[in-house]
Amino acid sequence: MESMTPSRHTEERPISIHPTPSSFKMMIEQVKHNAQQRMDDAFEYAKQKWDKSHKVPDFKVGDLGLVSMLNFKNIKFPKKLKNSYAGPFVIAALHGTNAVQVEPSG
């Protein structure tokens, strides 16, 4: 990765206080190119971090699973005592790779 120090840029081409329209356009295009390159690098870095730690779930019908209680707002219970998960429930059907239908126990 090249250094982006101010001294390096002043050695290559002097900065004009009053740039011409063509040089101003060239400066804007260079800034856009640098910004796009930095965004692409950041995206690639985030993708590598995600891919390294992500595990695809391997649910099967008949397996036992827990249900997150995070989205159940209608259950009135003190937050400290509320369970984060309910279950275990038997998986009845698969809907895609990350969604399942569970059989109610009771």
Burial of 102 (0-12, 13-18, 19+ CB in 10 A): middle
Its pTM stands at 0.50
Question: Which has more pLDDT, 18 or 9?
Answer: 18
Of 86, 92, 84, 91, nearest to 67 by C-alpha is: 86
1 assigned to some structural domain: no
* pLDDT value of residue 29: 94
pLDDT digits (tens, 9 = 90+) for 16-51: 677 788 888 999 999 999 999 999 999 999 999 999
Question: Considering only 19-28, 49-58, 68-77, 85-94, which range has the smallest mean pLDDT?
Answer: 68-77
Residue 26 lies in a domain: yes
Q: Which two tokens stand for residue 68?
A: 């997150």
Q: Are residues 48 and 78 in the same domain?
A: no
Can you tell me the distance from the alpha carbon of 105 to that of 21, in angstroms, rounded to the nearest whole number? 73
Residue 75 lies in a domain: yes
Domain shared by 47 and 19, yes or no? yes
Query: What is the CA angle 54-57-60, rounded to 5?
Result: 170
Asked whether residue 11 carries a pLDDT value surpassing 80, the answer given is no
Q: Would 59 be classed as within a structural domain?
A: no
Query: Which residues span the domain enclosing 44?
Result: 6-53
Among residues 84, 89, 86, the alpha carbon closest in space to that of 70 is found at 84
